[in-house]
Structure 1
């Protein structure tokens, strides 16, 4: 079955359920699209076609995505049947003796996983250019541009129509940055909404969480419903939702008070295309009856960014040190790229007391951002401060981790919004509302109070109806789908 570009996962599952398509046919088509597009994109790796066919033959679970082809991000989502590089030569061809809880829940939806999608080393960049994949991952809308990071391979694969939805994760914007870059919908749920076990209780002091890249809001909602809830032994859990994600998108939200920020949160200007996307969205929301007020959240944003940088450096040192210990050797030339190597060096300069101070800083920031919602229900901003960057601009082959993140021209100038809500733990989403005159996607960013995922996704669904994006597709697909 040669499915259409805008056929989402829910529709494809309905086709399987009705007998109009088979899981085998959908898998055949997905693999054919990998062959057609992956040479230009470098997004899909570690393919396990026979594993996928064996799963189909054994009988798929009767879940909401039964028979739909799917990709795991090549970072996290540990699975016995799916080896991983995690974006690093040091971790190349890692195999697992267990399935992570998040993968078990994804698998129970009936998906047909056949491979992994590229990720930058350690997941700490806004681009996906890991040496272990022998080249950068590129954007289907313009292959001179990045697909984003760290879920850049997943975003490129979905934007190219290889799969309708893919797994991602988000510790500083790693679902929302590629969603914005590739014209997709990406949702970062409230902290601890999804399980981290069994090998961890939290990632990056609670700032990291799994998520999904999709073309439709309903696909994301159904997968998040399937995966939500703590696993056994979780150190803490997200507040219970007042309704499921699926129920929330079935009805419009109440009319909301929305703060609109057309600068960065510190007041610096953003690219005109990003500002236009914010202004256009504000007009749409006002036309839907929401109350729009220009404002920006008052909090120590720069202090948070420095604390984030310290915590993630320590997280990078943790996985590198643990891997070297398991291998019984020291770090060797070529094991990791410059950003990761310099992150470890930076982490060595941070004492235990300084690390705890950084955690306290993001907790204090969470309280400041909670107070920002005393006057508003939603904060609207750009997802990025610019359209997707050129490939090579944020290469990991440099030895200045801290400057890479917080220095002039660094990651936080390019992506000043997303990490705020990893630090605060609040739910946030990137919605594909705008495209530039030369065809580059520009996402807008919506955030809600801690635990109020239902209101946020309901608003995203309302925007999807008011300003639909499903009909848009990259030019590179036109000949294939003609």
Structure 2
């Protein structure tokens, strides 16, 4: 096992984002020093992690001398390379076209950067975010800093690897099937997928028949995630949802917590089941009412979600030239994207009913959460796989079987629109982080953050330097 990190005695130290804000405001460090340190750290680990898609260091250094306002003013970050940032291309982890620099920030980036965060560039992802491992056929895989032989997990892998390695304290991620929570689990981070429509999102997301994608952040501490959501809410507020507010400490209410060790059509590995039950026991010791129950997902969910996921791939492939311009080359797409397109094409007559059933899952979840405040599951069904396990150049059938076996829990909240957070509460026998996921009903991020604060105090997790 080979670990890498960039933590050191520089302006970033071991600060999380909130700690760094305090250090800047108190004059312990300057913003230019912080940005230079983050750039140096990124370059130190970049050859090992393969996490950076585009660098914008000169722009960041200029902004460091004239930072925009916001709570996070001067805090370095990265943006995942599937949202538009003015002046940077949006390549989406894909070799099938050549992207031009975006003329404007997208809706999410505009909100994200309005909090004061300073982007150093964009991070690598799997092709169009379809795979749970960012393994690029030409550029190579994004690797976990906890073990360079392991995947950094899901399409937000680049952002997660850089936060876990200490290059930046916070980075953008988004989640259409688990890609905030999966890399949080793999890299020992906090990753909260917000409620559907909680944060501003780009136009294409709003056009989806089922809006499964949510944007958020990856951090090393609960308070960083809570502070980001608080500040984002000051910039953009969805009035149909209850406000999150400023969640800085554990809640006092003891919760009704359901535990699932079986996911959507799959079971966890025995070691993961045991780790999940240990966390359930901790919750009981903290005074919560804990009950192991079956997962509420109907039997139709795995195939319905896969069909809808493949529909998104089919739309991407068939509209490629119109969307991405004359450089589009279908023959440069990887086997997973093309296999998903075939999967949908052969089952297209089943899609309307699948979409209808997926849209009704919010009602199923609401009924479940009328009985249970929170559900606990492992974030992933087994330990982080080795690089190559989800190789996108392998036969489609092999890739898909392995994906479904590993990602057995996270898609449920993408379908229902509910919030869920992965916390680094467990470690496998081989020393790898194994995240535990907590989900609540729509609009209940505050409940999850209060519980996360409580668990962070009761069972503090180690960063990669620990």
Q: TM-score with structure 2 length normalisation?
A: 0.92
1:371 to partner: Cα distance: 1.9
Judged with a 3 Å threshold, the aligned counterparts in structure 2 of structure 1 residues 253 and 412 are, in CA distance, closer, same or farther, namely farther
Q: Where do 5+ consecutive residues of structure 2 fail to align?
A: 1-8
Alignment of 1:357-376 (within 5 A): 357-376=353-372
The partner residue of 2:129 within 90, 99, 123 is 123
| Deviates most, 113-122 or 302-311 | 302-311
In 2, the alpha carbon distance for the partners of 1:87 and 1:329 equals 15
Aligned partners of 2:115 and 2:232 also within 8 Å: no
Report the counterpart of residue 422 of structure 1 in structure 2. Answer: 414
Aligned partners of 1:186 and 1:431 also within 8 Å: yes
Aligned partners of 1:197 and 1:231 also within 8 Å: no
Measured against aligned partners, the alpha-carbon deviations of 1:368-407 in whole angstroms (never above 9, x if no partner) come to: 2222223211111100011111111111113426x643x4
Alignment of 1:260-339 (within 5 A): 260-264=259-263, 266=265, 269-300=267-298, 302-326=299-323, 327-328=325-326, 331-334=329-332, 336-339=333-336
Q: Across the two proteins, how many residue pairs are aligned to each other? A: 457
Alignment partner of 1:161 is 2:166:
yes
Alignment of 1:415-454 (within 5 A): 415-454=407-446
Report the counterpart of residue 478 of structure 1 in structure 2. Answer: none
Measured against aligned partners, the alpha-carbon deviations of 1:208-265 in whole angstroms (never above 9, x if no partner) come to: 1101110011111122233348979xxxx57422541x2x333414110011123335
Alignment partner of 1:188 is 2:193:
yes
Report the counterpart of residue 6 of structure 2 in structure 1. Answer: none
In 2, the alpha carbon distance for the partners of 1:36 and 1:284 equals 38
Task: Please provide the CA RMSD for this pair.
Answer: 2.3
Moved runs in structure 1, 4+ residues, more than 6 A?
Answer: 229-232
Report the counterpart of residue 29 of structure 1 in structure 2. Answer: 37
1:332 to partner: Cα distance: 4.2
Report the counterpart of residue 240 of structure 1 in structure 2. Answer: 241
The partner residue of 2:100 within 87, 91, 94 is 94
Q: TM-score with structure 1 length normalisation?
A: 0.89
Aligned partners of 2:205 and 2:211 also within 8 Å: no
Measured against aligned partners, the alpha-carbon deviations of 1:63-98 in whole angstroms (never above 9, x if no partner) come to: 12111110001112x111222221001244432122
Judged with a 3 Å threshold, the aligned counterparts in structure 2 of structure 1 residues 329 and 136 are, in CA distance, closer, same or farther, namely closer
The partner residue of 1:412 within 404, 407, 412 is 404
| Deviates most, 315-324 or 209-218 | 315-324
User: Any idea what SS the aligned residue of 1:149 has?
Assistant: coil
Aligned partners of 1:144 and 1:390 also within 8 Å: yes
1:207 to partner: Cα distance: 0.7
User: Any idea what SS the aligned residue of 1:292 has?
Assistant: strand
1:199 to partner: Cα distance: 5.0
Alignment partner of 1:381 is 2:377:
yes
Report the counterpart of residue 49 of structure 1 in structure 2. Answer: 57
Judged with a 3 Å threshold, the aligned counterparts in structure 2 of structure 1 residues 255 and 330 are, in CA distance, closer, same or farther, namely closer
